[in-house]
Amino acid sequence: MKDLDWLTQWVNKQEKFPECLRPQDLKRCREQRLSFLRSGQKLTVVGQETSFLAWDTSAIEQDTQTPIALLWGRHGALNCLEQLLCDSDQKLAGRPLVVSAFVHQTAWMELLQSQGFYALRHFVTKDMRPQSVDPAYLLRPGKESDRATLSALALSVCVHTLPPHQESELGRYRRSLLQTLLKLDYGPKSEYELLIAEDKQGESLGYLLLRCDAHKTAAVVDIGVDKSHWGEGVAQFLVLSAENHLIERGFEFYVGEISAANRRSFYVATEICGFSPNRQLWRRDP
């Protein structure tokens, strides 16, 4: 109960949360944090109100569906945090610890690196704007009959999307991806939307999977281009023509997540499609 009081105070004072990508989302993110605390879900806390680390052990690693400890909050000077990170080891019970850093938090990232963390994933964002796109390609909605082609294409390129240092997990990653794709609902009432890029002959060249929320934000969940068409501007076409289509439907904000090992995708997102890095996830393996 005592922990709950000062964690609640901490949430009420915070001006930023890692999941809050726009200032206008702060109030909603704060409410979600408070309702998490009120729900009785358990956080593990190291330290106390003057300096603490708190993490959520109900979190799941999205690529491999394995349990992780996801940092929920931190407070205190960086030198206290160094000690707290050491103390956290006993309570982590063998789980990897995953923490967020905004791109401007260089001292925090240096500390993480010195404590054995490595960059896991980039978050990129942008405000949507009308885009001109290559007329050589066509964008069409995905249909149920695309599911087999989509799954085969996603599996053929997924080795490039693995998180860093997870090469040995490729089998598990592929199984988890296939399960997700086979049951994914991208019908008209789903929050997911599948878009396919075709050439003029009707050949499918790549796909873009979006998750659209009620707050005018669309997230790129996955993108894949047939390897024989890499470097021909298909990914650029998919992302930018989807942006036009989303603007027409009233969307304003575009977000994406990219494995820190996936330099090609990061380049396409930031140098070609106009996204900016917003924050990173860092991970320390047990």
Ligand X SMILES: CC(C)(COP(=O)(O)OP(=O)(O)OC[C@H]1O[C@@H](n2cnc3c(N)ncnc32)[C@H](O)[C@@H]1OP(=O)(O)O)[C@@H](O)C(=O)NCCC(=O)NCCS
Residue closer to ligand X (CB basis): 120 or 234 = 234
Residue closer to ligand X (CB basis): 29 or 225 = 225
Q: Which amino acid is at 236?
A: Q
Give the shortest CB-184-to-ligand X separation in angstroms. 16
Give the shortest CB-244-to-ligand X separation in angstroms. 16
Residue closer to ligand X (CB basis): 175 or 264 = 264
**Quick check: 115 and 82 in contact, CB under 8 A?**
yes
Give the shortest CB-159-to-ligand X separation in angstroms. 8
Distance CA 274, CA 72 (A): 30
DSSP class of 231 = T
Candidates 6, 99, 19, 90; CA nearest to 55 is: 99
Give the shortest CB-190-to-ligand X separation in angstroms. 20
Q: Which residue shows structure tokens 């956290």?
A: 88
Distance CA 84, CA 227 (A): 45
CA angle 135, 138, 141 (to 5 degrees): 150
User: Residue with CB nearest ligand X?
Assistant: 235
Give the shortest CB-99-to-ligand X separation in angstroms. 21
Distances (CA, A) of 182 to 150, 185, 223, 258: 10, 9, 16, 22
Binding site for ligand X (CB under 6 A): 157, 160-161, 222-225, 230-236, 258, 262-265, 267-268, 272
Residue closer to ligand X (CB basis): 202 or 231 = 231
Residue closer to ligand X (CB basis): 11 or 205 = 205
